[in-house]
Every structure is written in C-alpha cells, then in structure tokens.
C-alpha cells in the first residue's frame, strides 16, 4: 500500500508523458507539483520554459535551471499542471490550500490543457469538506466575511498570512456547494474578492490520480 506522499509522487511523475518538444508549460504550487517539477528537470532542454504560479515553484525551477517565463510575454501555455485540495467527478476543484490561488487561476485561464495531479484522497463526490479559500483585498476582509455568512459559510481568517499579491485569505467552512459554477461566480461578484478557490468554470481536462494500490488512474472530463 502506498502512503499519501507516495501517491502524490506517482501522480506528479505520470504527468511527464503529456510534455512534448518545445512546449510552454504552466506549473501550480504544492507538494504534488514538486514531484512533477523534479521529473520535468530531465526534459529541461526539450521545452521552451515554464510559467510559475508562486515563488515556491519558481525557486525549485531555478534550482534545476529550468527557464522561468513571463506569462505576458508568452501569452498562452500549452499545458498547465497543478494539484488540488478537492476534485469532483466533473473535474471541478477546490484549490488554494497553499495560498497561490490567484496566480494559479490566471495561468489556468491562459492554458490550452489543464491536467490535475492528485492522490486519491482528493477525489470526492461533492466539494466542500475542505474549506474554500478566498483571496481578499485587506480592507474588505470583514465586509467579505459578512457577505459569506449570508451564503451560509463560516469564514475563518488565515491570520498572519499575506499572499504574494499582498492580500488576505479567508477559509470558508460549512459551505453547501451544490452548484460549483454558480457559487464561483457569486463569490467573485462580492466587492473586495480577488479570487476564490473554486475552479469550476474552467475545470481540469484530465485528472491523474495516484492510488493506494500503487496504480495510476487517468480520468478524462
């Protein structure tokens, strides 16, 4: 039986088979992505480079001398590889446990293909057990929290944490997420919200799951 870390490793490493010559790759953030980047280092001379979603991933890419590209210069990425905190059977996700959700969502929007890599504990019938992260402009923290209460959620300020964009994170507990796309849009419409961690409007195209039984399962949308 594999433990969670081993499941993350096989999922992250399996994504390498989707990487082709001269591609521009986008990478997310987190412990599963780390395994993908480790593997990508073996192909660093074959790709154009990587658009990174966080300082953490950028550091690792630089350690391997993988070229880090600016999204504004490349315009689009051929493939985006990222983890998730939860992913449902429509490949809609909750992301942002690591606080990098805004840059992750920006790269997602510019990607031709989105591959999610995860251990099997992340694959759930319904989103919402994992608290939904929302990045907010600091002065709007308490206003956004009050609006979230009206939606039935319980906001919890990730105190002491500033995102790379200089904002706060609210983690929302007890949300009843029946319609992820509708809720994503509703939360985005609250003034002061920068991004919410529902990745439903642009869901993943492919899910690579690492499983306890040491196997990989590929799920297409």
Site for ligand 5RP contains 96 (CB under 6 A): yes
Binding residues with ligand 5RP: total (CB under 6 A): 18
Six token digits for residue 2: 């594999």
Q: How far is the CB of 31 from ligand 5RP (least distance, A)?
A: 3
Site for ligand 5RP contains 128 (CB under 6 A): no
Residue 103 parent element (H or E): helix 101-109
Among 61, 77, 100, 172, binds ligand 5RP (CB under 6 A): 100
Site for ligand 5RP contains 29 (CB under 6 A): yes
Among 13, 78, 82, 147, binds ligand 5RP (CB under 6 A): 82
Burial of 128 (0-12, 13-18, 19+ CB in 10 A): buried
Instruction: Give the C-alpha separation, 98 to 28, whole Å.
Output: 10
- Using the minimum distance from each CB to ligand 5RP, give the nearer residue, 29 or 167: 29
Specify whether 164 is catalytic.
Answer: no
Query: Contacts with ligand 5RP in 154-173 (CB under 6 A)?
Result: none
Which positions ≥6 away from 85 have C-beta within 8 Å?
93, 94, 95, 96, 97, 122, 130, 197
- The strands making up 216-220's β-sheet, listed across from edge to edge, are 49-52, 24-27, 79-82, 114-119, 206-210, 216-220
HSE at residue 110, side-chain half, CA atoms within 13 A, is: 20
Among 26, 49, 83, 180, binds ligand 5RP (CB under 6 A): 83
The one segment of 66-74, 95-103, 181-189, 213-221 that binds ligand 5RP by CB under 6 A: 95-103
Q: Which chain residues interact with ligand 5RP by CB under 6 A? A: 8, 28-32, 82-85, 95-101, 104
Which residues does the annotation mark as catalytic?
A: 104
């Amino acid at each position: 039986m594999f433990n969670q870390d081993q499941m993350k490793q096989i999922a992250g490493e399996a994504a390498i088979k989707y990487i082709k010559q001269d591609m521009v790759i986008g990478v997310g953030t987190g412990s599963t992505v780390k395994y993908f980047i480790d593997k990508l280092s073996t192909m660093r001379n074959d790709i154009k480079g990587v658009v990174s979603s966080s300082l953490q991933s950028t550091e690792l890419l630089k350690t391997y001398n993988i070229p880090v590209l600016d999204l504004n210069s490349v315009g689009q990425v051929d493939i985006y590889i990222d983890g998730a905190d939860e992913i449902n059977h429509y490949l809609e996700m909750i992301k942002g446990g690591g606080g990098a959700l805004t840059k992750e969502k920006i790269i997602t929007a510019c990607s031709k293909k989105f591959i999610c890599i995860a251990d099997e504990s992340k694959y759930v019938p319904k989103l919402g057990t994992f608290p939904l992260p929302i990045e907010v402009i600091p002065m709007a923290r308490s206003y956004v929290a009050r609006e979230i209460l009206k939606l039935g959620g319980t906001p919890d300020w990730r105190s002491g944490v500033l995102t790379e964009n200089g904002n706060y994170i609210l983690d929302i507990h007890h949300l009843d997420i029946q319609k992820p796309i509708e809720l994503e849009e509703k939360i985005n419409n609250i003034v002061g919200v920068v991004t919410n961690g529902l990745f439903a409007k642009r869901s993943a195209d492919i899910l690579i799951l690492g499983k306890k039984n040491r196997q990989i399962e590929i799920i297409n949308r």
